[in-house]
Structure 1
Amino acid sequence: MSRDVPRHPTASPTNDAGHQPGQPSEHHPKPAPRLGHWLTLALLLIVLDQVTKLYFDSAYTYGQRVNVLPIFDFTLMYNRGAAFSFLASEGGWQRWFFTVLGIVAAIVIVWMLRRHTAQPRFSLALTLILSGALGNVIDRVAYGHVIDFLLFYWKDWYYPAFNVADICITCGAVLLVLDEVLRARKSRR
């Protein structure tokens, strides 16, 4: 004689391997990416950043510009400072200051990622910032400057040259703001 075992009200049937058949249901949503997924994405972005920098550093001479569009050139520039060449003309201490700042930021970001892996938009923003910060830290340690190669301009106005790491940091910052706005809007409902 067999007896039915009561199930938890949210339990769903499983197959012989103990897995649910079919797609995730509302009771069992798709699992959130783990820390390893976010760190793997960061690593891929760092590799992309470093490969592009190595290419431009070897294929171009310093200051060389190759026109791509009427408002965009490839170039090779070195930035000893931070964004917009902030502190670039200082005597060299800024290299280590921004290196330490980038490493501390990376440690804090990894700590935050561990705590928030279930929030994909927030975690993606942190991952983008992490990859950008570490990409530029690698340059500072290896070369003493950051390699920039993307240059946008309009007539006599120039946006400071930048790289893939800078794009990651900017997109991550925008995504952080968007995430906060959307979370605030959701909590007001």
Structure 2
Amino acid sequence: MQLTAKVAGAILILDQVTKYAVVHVMELDRKAAIDVFPPWLNFRMAWNQGVNFGLLSHESEIVRWGLIVLALAISGWVWIWVRREPHSVPVHASAGLLIGGAIGNIVDRIFYGAVADFINMSLPSWNNPYSFNIADIAIFAGAAGLVLLTGKEEAPRKGRTGNSR
């Protein structure tokens, strides 16, 4: 569980530091757009009140707090689930990614009223209209890791004491 907590903490810090730097220090909230390495990497300010790609986006306080409660419930469930059964290191790391990312977006919803998305990646012939953040990357990677890696672990054998002959 220490690994899960350390990964979650590292993602939360990385997410919040990058958001603060880009939104407040680089003033993306005022400029709305900063070309970093166009068209491949740009910063485009997007205040996401919903979930991925703005789904369930609504200015209602009920939706905002409902999404906070939902993210807390999912994070809590993942934490308890990982803690109850033995899992591999990659599964613990995946759980930490998901939990840290979810908490990062919860912090945004509490302080900003919406999630601060700013990373935009496009191609020379395609302008991506969507932005995301470090927390979104961590949530996606963590969820993918949990789906792909859980169940691939060797089940502990009963009756073994750890001594081999």
Same fold (TM over 0.5): yes
- Report the counterpart of residue 133 of structure 2 in structure 1: 163
Contact preservation (8 Å) 2:94, 2:145: yes
Contact preservation (8 Å) 2:39, 2:121: no
Q: Match for 1:161: what amino acid? A: S
Structure 2 distance, partners of 1:164, 1:101, is 19
Structure 1 distance, partners of 2:126, 2:87, is 46
| Larger Cα-atom Rg | 1
Q: Match for 1:171: what amino acid? A: A
Q: Match for 2:79: what amino acid? A: V
Question: Deviations along 1:61-117, whole A, 9 cap, x unmatched?
Answer: 332232414322122221111111112245342211110001111211211221245
- Report the counterpart of residue 175 of structure 1 in structure 2: 145
Contact preservation (8 Å) 2:3, 2:92: no
Whichever structure has more helix as a proportion of its residues is: 2
- Report the counterpart of residue 68 of structure 1 in structure 2: 37
Structure 1 distance, partners of 2:43, 2:59, is 26
Question: TM-score with structure 1 length normalisation?
Answer: 0.71
- Report the counterpart of residue 112 of structure 2 in structure 1: 143
Q: CA deviation at 1:118?
A: 4.0
Structure 1 distance, partners of 2:103, 2:84, is 20
Structure 1 distance, partners of 2:87, 2:66, is 33
Compare 95-104 and 52-61 and name the one that shifted more. 52-61
Structure 2 distance, partners of 1:56, 1:78, is 13
Identity of aligned residues (%): 28
Q: Match for 1:87: what amino acid? A: L
Say whether 1:42 aligns with 2:11. Answer: no
Question: Deviations along 1:144-183, whole A, 9 cap, x unmatched?
Answer: 0111110012334415200010010111122123214x72
Contact preservation (8 Å) 1:74, 1:150: yes
Give the aligned CA root-mean-square deviation in angstroms.
Answer: 2.2
- Report the counterpart of residue 111 of structure 1 in structure 2: 80
Contact preservation (8 Å) 2:45, 2:117: yes
Question: TM-score with structure 2 length normalisation?
Answer: 0.81
Question: Deviations along 1:39-75, whole A, 9 cap, x unmatched?
Answer: 1221111011000011111112332232414322122
Structure 1 residues not aligned, in runs of 5+: 1-34
Contact preservation (8 Å) 2:3, 2:93: no
Higher relative contact order (CA closer than 8 Å, sequence separation 6+): 2
- Report the counterpart of residue 48 of structure 2 in structure 1: 79
Say whether 1:134 aligns with 2:100. Answer: no
Structure 2 distance, partners of 1:147, 1:104, is 21
Structure 2 distance, partners of 1:117, 1:106, is 18
